[in-house]
Amino acid sequence: MGPGLANLVMGLVFGEWYRRTRRTLPLVIAHTVLDVFAFVGYALLRDVIST
């Protein structure tokens, strides 16, 4: 439930940003930064966090 809710919130925030500014580059950059942190964070913590 957590990741799905986070994606929903991110989609709503990004959608509102686009609606107000009509700019996509900041959204592309933000999405890339989020993905990089998630990928690196998972790589660093996968042995610490049990699934």
Q: Provide the pLDDT confidence category of residue 47 given band limits of 50, 70 and 90.
A: confident
Task: Note the pLDDT tens digit of each residue in 32-44.
Answer: 999 999 899 888 8
Q: Which residues are CB-contacts of 46 (< 8 A; sequence separation ≥ 6)?
A: none
* Phi and psi based region of residue 22 (left: phi greater than 0; alpha: psi -120 to 50; beta: remaining): left
In this predicted structure, what is the pLDDT of residue 51? Answer: 59
Contact 18, 24 (CB under 8 A): yes
Q: What is the mean pLDDT of the chain?
A: 90
Residue located via tokens 């660093």: 44
CA 27 to the chain's CA centroid? 10
Q: Which residues are CB-contacts of 23 (< 8 A; sequence separation ≥ 6)?
A: 17
pTM over 0.85: no
In this predicted structure, what is the pLDDT of residue 30? Answer: 95
Task: Note the pLDDT tens digit of each residue in 2-35.
Answer: 788 989 999 999 999 999 999 999 999 999 999 9
